[in-house]
Amino acid sequence: MLVLLNDTKAMKRRFVTMMWVFCAGLNAHAISEELRVGSKRFTESYILGEVITQAAAQTKEVTVNHRQGLGNTGIVFTALKSGSIDLYPDYTGTIAKEILKIDGPFDVTLLNTRLAAEGLGVAVPLGFNNTYALAMREQQAAELDIKTVSDLAKHPQLKYGLSQEFLGRSDGWPGLVAKYALPGALPVTGVDHGLAYEAMAVKQIDVTDIYSTDAKIEKYRLRVLRDDRQYFPAYDAVLLYRLDLPARFPKTWQRLQQLQHTIDDQTMIRLNAEAELAGRGFAAIAERFLTGDVKQKVTREAKQGFWSRLTAPDFLRLTLQHLNLVFVSLAASIVVGIPLGIVASRSPSVGKWILSLTGVLQTIPALALLAFLIPVFSRIGTVPALVALFLYALLPIVRNTYAGLTQIPQSLRESAAALGLPAGARLRLVEMPLATGTILAGVKTSAIINVGTATIAAFIGAGGYGERIAAGLALNDNNMLLAGAVPAALLALIVQWGFDLLDRWLISPGLRTGAVH
């Protein structure tokens, strides 16, 4: 017991030092004046976002930041309303049917009238119509004599692989089924848009939703089915923006207006092909377009290998963002989780509820929790991501603190009481040092979980290695996927090794060798 008391002072200093290291990551970012451009998580939106970003940056009026691959329409529109972004490229049909829920015909004037109440507007028609459509393999469509969407009703055996957004949109699958009287029990599978073409090629699915400007339609020899009942509206590409933008950055807004009618259907198909077939980066494609260096025929380039993807110039930025997400959220989890574990160990009735609640939080899917937190905080990016990671990290810390304290032998508790130590001193000088190894194991588990979960945060614009994973999914680029996944895996290993060293440094030799007995 005396060895234990002698060791606790040094151990206390080490524990305080560790907490300061974690809490040093809690930084407040000063809000600087910048133009924030958003984009959705598919190839064309990435490219258009880069075109807007680079065009705006040419005026040098303001710092421009591209928050790329934020997710589906709901997430990006919420970001725009909350002021997390200032504008993003979208489509008139999507705005009318999915956002504003307009039944019947519409035009830009009507869209602007309805959006004005939200402080938003539509402007700068880019010049092309990227409508939804359904497509099949040309050979299969010819064999079954399917030319129109109406013909699908005659073949209920076909397997449908549709993007998740199309499945849930009011102008997507539900309305299409009703309009064309398609059988309600059709076999439908949700497939990421970037992977649907490959699924078609290997005959895992027969029908998928496409965008009319997709570059892979010709490559995979697909037949685009005619919308014979004219279900899909026009999806003219426009900029959806906050109404205060022109007044805030007049020169930049004037430059963006010059993009009007500069991209026709064929140009957009070529730009998409530059990414999906030639393997060029989104920023390089946008630069080629703005300098007029987009050739009529796409020149295939050697696809970037894993190493070049891994060591790209954005590696340091993504690493710092990922570390910030992991360790700031972990620090908050330590500050909250350890006291909760102490409370749970002192009161069995309260502890049951604490452990149950933190356990339930672990069962919520990461994307669902992130989507829920966006409207709660009225913003995207780092804040909701940190809160989500903080909640996910609580369970291992709370449970291990509880376990470490409740497993202390009763004889040691009685010895401490016999020395006349009050309850607070017993906790600080005896119980917490004895439980430190178990608590630290919980912190290590939470840190490793956070490294992996933080990759999901890129889907709401929080950055990190998940940016590469999201872009790799959009392009079906395995090298890009690995360039995000491998650093995350290596970081998890480094974190584990770091905590193993911390365990040796923090826990006193007397406790490790069993001198307390």
- Please state, in angstroms and rounded to a whole number, the distance separating the CA atoms of residues 311 and 308: 5
Of 302, 327, 345, the residue at which a domain comes to its end is: 302
Q: Is residue 197 part of a domain?
A: yes
Considering the domain architecture, whether residues 382 and 442 belong to the same structural domain is answered as yes
Domain span at residue 161 reads 132-224
Say whether both 250 and 183 belong to one domain. Answer: no
Mark which of 243, 278, 302 sits at the end of a domain. 302
**pLDDT (tens digit, 0 to 9) for every residue of the chain, 517 residues total?**
444 444 444 444 544 444 444 444 433 343 347 999 999 988 999 999 999 999 999 999 999 999 988 878 888 998 899 898 999 999 999 999 999 999 888 999 999 999 999 999 999 999 999 999 999 999 999 999 999 999 999 998 999 999 888 888 878 898 999 999 887 667 788 888 878 888 998 999 999 999 899 988 888 899 999 999 999 988 999 999 999 999 999 999 999 999 999 999 999 999 999 988 888 889 999 999 999 865 544 455 445 677 888 888 889 999 999 999 999 999 999 999 999 999 999 888 898 999 999 999 888 888 788 878 877 887 778 899 999 999 999 999 999 999 988 888 777 776 766 666 777 777 777 788 888 888 999 999 999 999 999 998 887 778 899 888 888 877 767 888 899 999 999 999 999 999 888 877 776 665 554 434 4
Report helix, strand or coil for 87: strand
Classify residue 458: in a domain, yes or no: yes
- Say if residue 414 is in the same domain as residue 489: yes
Q: Is residue 170 part of a domain?
A: yes
Query: Quick check: is 492 in a domain?
Result: yes
263 to 219, 287, 476: CA distances (angstroms): 22, 14, 24
Residue 337 near residue 391 (C-beta atoms within 8 A): no
517: in domain: no
333 and 448: one domain?
A: yes
Residue 399 CB contacts under 8 Å (≥ 6 apart), including other chains = 341, 355, 358, 442
Q: Does 124 share its domain with 8? A: no
Domain end position, chosen among 302, 326, 354: 302
**308 within a domain of the structure (yes/no):** no
Kindly state whether residues 342 and 390 are assigned to the same domain.
yes
CA gap 256, 245 in Å, rounded: 11
Residues 260 and 157 in one domain: no
Q: Does the residue 309 lie in any domain?
A: no
Three-class secondary structure of residue 398 per DSSP: helix
Q: Quick one: which of 279, 282, 285 has its CA closest to 305?
A: 279
Indicate whether 402 and 359 sit together in one domain.
yes
Q: Each residue of 307-339: pLDDT tens digit?
A: 888 888 889 999 999 999 999 999 999 999 999
| 239 shares its domain with 345 | no
Give the whole-angstrom CA distance, residue 160 versus residue 141: 14
CATH of the domain at 139: 3.40.190.120
CA–CA dist 277, 217 (Å, integer): 11
Helix, strand, coil % (nearest 5) of the chain? 60, 10, 30
In a domain, 103, yes or no: yes
Please check whether residues 45 and 21 belong to one and the same domain.
no
Do 398 and 333 fall into the same domain? yes
Q: What was the pLDDT predicted at 247? A: 95
Sign of dihedral through CA atoms 40, 43, 46, 51?
A: negative
CB 299 within 8 A of CB 293: no
User: How many Cα atoms occupy the beta-carbon half-sphere of 263 within 13 Å?
Assistant: 28
pLDDT (0 to 100) of residue 304: 65
Task: Kindly report the CATH number assigned to the domain that includes residue 433.
Answer: 1.10.3720.10
User: 462 exposed, middle or buried (CB, 10 Å; 0-12, 13-18, 19+)?
Assistant: buried
Q: What is the pLDDT of residue 2?
A: 40
State the total domains in the chain: 3
Classify burial at 304, counting beta carbons within 10 Å of its beta carbon; exposed 0-12, middle 13-18, buried 19 or more. middle
pLDDT digits 0-9 by tens, 428-483: 777 888 888 889 999 999 999 999 999 988 877 788 998 888 888 777 678 888 99
Do 55 and 15 fall within a single domain? Answer: no
Q: What is the DSSP string of 431-486?
A: IHHHHHHHHHHHHHHHHHHHHHHGGGGGGGT--STHHHHHHHHHHT-HHHHHHHHH
Angle between the N-to-C axes of helices 478-506 and 2-23, in degrees from 0 to 180, rounded to the nearest 10? 150
